[in-house]
Each structure stands twice: as C-alpha cells, then as structure tokens.
Structure 1
Amino acid sequence: MKRIDLHTHSAYSDDADFAVSDLLMMAKAAEVSVLAVTDHNSARSVEGAIRYGKTNGVSVMTGIEIDCSFEGNNYHLLGYGFRRDSRDFDAVEQNFHQLERAATPLKLSKLRALGFHFDEERLYAMAGDRIPQEEEMAELILDDERNANHALLLPYRAGNARSDMPLINFFWDFFGRGKPCHVTVDLPPMAEMAALIIDNGGIPVIAHIGANVKEKHLSVIEQMRPLGVQGVEVFSSYHDEALRHALYQYTLDNSLLATCGSDFHGKNKPNIALGSSQPWPHAAPYTQEILERVTLY
C-alpha cells in the first residue's frame, strides 16, 4: 500500500521547523511515496518540494493550507494540484501576514492580563524575520520562572492533562475562538479561497474538521459543499475512529474525495509523526483517487 501524506508543513509556515529539503528527506525515511507540503497561506515551498522530491524519490503534489472564514468561524482549507507557476497565492500570504502583524500586540496584551510573564524582546528575537506565533509565546511563558506556580499553567506541566503537546494545546486553550486570548481577524471567506484554488487548476479540500468544530461535523461540511469544496480530510491526527468512519461514509455517499494527512509540524506538535494518519487498508484505493486528478512531480 502506498504511504501518502497530504498535510505537512515546512519552515515556510511560521509555526513549523524544517526546511523543505529536510522535510523531503524525512518523507523518504518514513517511506512516504507521495507528499504535499501545505504551508499556512503560502505556496512558496512548491519549487523546492518538487526539486528535493526528485532527489529523494518522493512524488510531490502542489499544496497549501489557507486560513479562511465561514459562517462566523475560522477553518482551514487545503488546496491541492494547483499550477506550480501560480503567483495568486502570494496575495493570500501577504494579507495573512498583515492580519497577524496587527493582531500580535493585542494577543500579548491579553496574555499579560492573565498574569503571564514573558520577555517580549526575546519573543521577537525567537521569531526572527517571521511573525511571533502563539506556540512561541507559550514556550516563553512556560519556561519563564516567574510563571512557575501560575495555576493556569499547571495542566501543561510534565505529567499533567495537557502536557502531551503543551505548546499547541496552549494555543487551542487560550487563543481558540471564545478563549481568553482570542483575537478576531478578518480572514478571507472560504468561498473566495475555494474559487481561487479552483481557478488555479486546484482541488479544495476541508482540513481536519474535527480540530475546528466539536459536533455536527457532517452538517457543517454539508453547508460548505456549495462553495466548491471537493473533498474532506478524513484521516487526520485529530480524528478518532468514530469521526473517521462518519466522514469516510459521508464522502462515499456524496462523491467527495477522501484524503489523509498528518499535519506534521515538528516540535510544536511532537506527537504527530510525518506519514502518520494513514487510511485503513480497504480505504487506501479511495483515498488515492486524488492522485489521478492532479499532476505529480
């Protein structure tokens, strides 16, 4: 059975660690035969992924993961198989960085209001030429001795309930919608982003719906279908077996693509390995139908 991973992140994503060249070497080591690098709001990995894919014997599919809005909530939309020479996604990246740059001081203010201590200069130094990410904020806060006995941080300390992936868990618990440090940004509508992907010859696929909503997943997807969505990421690190079964059956019943992806980042998500979230053996042929609809390099 082919091992494919259609949801991975390189250092072009502000919250991921590995250069594109390293990511392709890791894919080879994990015996992944088809990889999509789906950086957040950026398609800058495309040419490097294709080049290093050839070096490592890994087929590459063009990819991106776009932050967008639908019915007042934030979601992630994966785009696959778009033209490798497209420059339309540059504007998506520029817009997102402007939004994040404006939101960062508000996030830091909300963290201070909770009594968290952190060195802001060090935060920006850690980020370098990138925009500081919530996981970097979490890392600084958890490492700062002044926060050692802060009650809100106890779940993220070793051996406690949220310590398995403390940085991303901190992000979800404090910056998610309705959480104390959430800052609303005006993300582009999902309909516009789906159209952009399609206009560039690509396929829009809903990413890890289980990470975005906790209930009525199929109802949410049903509302998204008229936007031009053509697939659902069924096999995800964030989906338990019950949700995988429900999503898989939904894609079968509605002639949608079913895809699989790990959402590999590196240290921010240490429990997620590249090449994980593979389909069940009987579902593998169906999840590989997307490979027949895109150009593999």
Structure 2
Amino acid sequence: MILIDLHTHSTCSDGTLSPEALVRAAKARKISVLSLTDHDTTEGVSKFLSACSHAGIRGLSGIELSAEAPYTLHILGYNITPGNGPLEKRLARLREHRKDRNAAICKRLRELGLDITLEEVQEEAKGDVVARPHIARVLIRKGYVQDMAGAFRVYLADGAAAYIPRVRLSPAECIELIRQSGGVPVLAHPGQMGLAEEPLKALLRELKEMGLWGMECLSSHHRYEEIYQYLKLADSMGLFATAGTDFHGWNRPGVQLGIPVGEDFLPWARLQVAL
C-alpha cells in the first residue's frame, strides 16, 4: 500500500499552505504521489513540482475547474502542461472575473451593514490569490461570525446573503481545455453533487462522451458506502477511479493529507508517474 493525494489546494487558490509548504506536509505524511489542483490556476505548479523533486515525492501537475451546472460540478485535470495555450488564456479571463466577483461580494456585505473593504481582504490574503475564505477570515476577525462555517452559511455560500455567482465554464469546455493541455479529465467528489444514482449515471455517460477519463471515488467528502458505490460505478462505465482528500489546510479542518491505495491503483504510466 502507498499513500497518495490527487486533490490538494495551496495559497495560489483557497488553501492555507504555499505549494512548498504543502509538499513539506506531504513528506511528513509519507505521501508517495501528490497532485496540486488549485482552482482555476496553474500558478503554483512549477514551484510545487520542483519542491516534490527535492522531497522525493512523485509530483503531478493538476488543476480544478468549476463547470456550469445546477449543482457542484468540478473537473480535475491531471498531467497538464502549463504554458501559453488555450487553457492559460481562458484561465486569465476567469481570474479577471474572480477579481470583479470579490469586489462585488465586499460591496454586498457593506450594503448589509458590515464594515469590510476589498483592501482589507487583500491584506488578509498577504499576496495570495484572493478567494472567499479570505473574506471569511476578515468577517471572523471583525466579530461578524464565529468561524469559517458560519461565514459561508450566513454570507458567502450559494444562496447566502452576500453570495455572488461566479463565471463558470461548460463541462465540455473544461474537458476539452484539459485534453488540449495534454491532461486527463476526472470528475471531482461526485458525492458533492447530490445526484441520485440514475441521474449520476446519465451525467457520467454524457461526460465520458466528451472525453472524461476518471472519477474521484475515494474522497474525504465520501462515506464508506458512497466510496463502494462510486468504485462500482466507475468500473461499470470504464472510468478510472482516483483518490484525493480535497485538502485546503486549515480552511478544511480535520482533513489530513493522504489516502491509502494499492500500488496498481492507477495506470501511473499514463500520468507519467514512475513508482
């Protein structure tokens, strides 16, 4: 058995550890294979892969894209090649939309009577990519909420008082951009979508026709019975099962890096990982 984690986030999106610190934490946990899958950015990939090389960890470039759907639909991309291709150009536009969204959230909070500015949030981020957890931290620091969960429940989550929708790509565009970058697309944490078995099967058939390669079956979001269900489903549909914790550091308290799997869990050669 080996420990792997193919779903992690750094301060380049909404995690609390830098790419280098993430690798150090993984080394302490004796992780064999690690992927950095920040939201809508490959900014940390180069530093991450370099740190993995020095730490003796098999590093895998990655990304997590949010797809347009009436539920949470995220597509992970593994073994992508960052650079000046279609993916990077599309990500640049998404980052501009993210900046506009952060400003709009702060404006909405002020309209609700909360004293919070975008400048305060940027200071809280300390140079990292500004995301909703940074807004949440300012709300906590100023005493408007008690904790991260409360900040999202009352103000920042979908349907909450200051929620502003984000710009998302279509599922087909997510998959195509990942494939154009040399990567393989994987459906992230299917348990987060809230779909019953038959609608999930229908979605998977549709996504597979678009080029979906795998499904994240082993996840910190899934109960044991869900993991069993997703493993069976992936096998029946010819999708590779993957494993990741969706690690965010202290933005997701209680989640530790690493999931135990057999050494033959994945076709590592396709991901250019040599065990």
> Residue 262 of structure 1 contacts residue 274 of structure 1 at CA under 8 Å; is this kept in 2?
yes
Q: Distance in 2 between matches of 1:182 and 1:119?
A: 16
Partner of residue 83 from structure 1, selected from 81, 84, 90: 81
Does the C-alpha gap of structure 1 residues 236 and 173 become closer, same or farther in structure 2, counting only changes over 3 Å? farther
Deviations 1:53-95 (A, max 9, x none): 221111112211112213x445221001223666443223312
User: How many angstroms apart in 2 are the aligned matches of 1:221 and 1:175?
Assistant: 31
| Conserved? CA contact 1:135–1:168, under 8 Å | no
Aligned residue runs from structure 1 range 1-297, under 5 A = 1-13=1-13, 15-70=14-69, 72-83=70-81, 87-118=85-116, 120-145=118-143, 147=144, 153=145, 157=146, 166-167=147-148, 170-171=151-152, 174-211=155-192, 213-216=193-196, 219-220=199-200, 222-223=202-203, 224-275=207-258, 277-279=259-261, 284=262, 288-296=265-273
CA 1:90–1:256: 2 relative to 1, 3 Å: same
Question: 1:209, 1:217 within 8 Å by CA — same for their partners in 2?
Answer: no
Verify the 8 A CA contact 1:235 1:259 in the aligned structure 2: yes
Secondary structure of the corresponding residue to residue 67 of structure 2: strand
The Cα of 1:222 is off from its aligned counterpart by 3.0
Shift of 1:122: 2.2
- Residues 204-259 of structure 1 show CA distances to partners (whole Å, capped at 9, x for unaligned) of 00111223x22426623532333221111111111112221211110111111111
1:290 positional shift: 3.8
| 3-state SS of paired residue (2:2) | coil
For 2:142 and 2:150, how far apart are their aligned partners in 1? 18
What is the TM-score of this pair, normalised by structure 2?
0.87
Return the alpha-carbon distance in structure 2 between the equivalents of residues 191 and 173 of structure 1: 33
Aligned residue for 1:62, secondary structure, equals: strand
Letter of the 1:39 partner, please give it.
Answer: D
In structure 2, relative to structure 1, the CA distance for the partners of 1:169 and 1:271 (3 Å cut) is farther
Identical aligned residues as a percent: 25
Task: Provide, for residues 146-205 of structure 1, a one-character-per-residue CA deviation record: whole Å limited to 9, x for no partner.
Answer: x3xxxxx4xxx4xxxxxxxx4256336643333332212331112011011112221100
For the aligned residue pairs, the C-alpha RMSD in angstroms reads: 2.5
Contact preservation (8 Å) 2:23, 2:55: yes
Could you tell me whether the CA contact under 8 Å between 2:176 and 2:211 is conserved in 1? Answer: yes
The 8 Å contact of residues 94 and 167 in structure 2, kept in 1 or not, is answered as no
| Structure 2, unaligned runs of 5 or more | none
Letter in 2 for 1:209: P
Return the letter of the residue paired with 2:87: F
CA contact (8 A) 2:140 2:151 kept: no
- Please give the alpha-carbon distance, in whole angstroms, between the structure 2 residues aligned to 1:144 and 1:85: 40
User: C-alpha distance in 1, partners of 2:85/2:19?
Assistant: 19
User: Is the Cα contact below 8 Å between 1:168 and 1:268 reproduced in 2?
Assistant: no
- Count of equivalent residues: 271
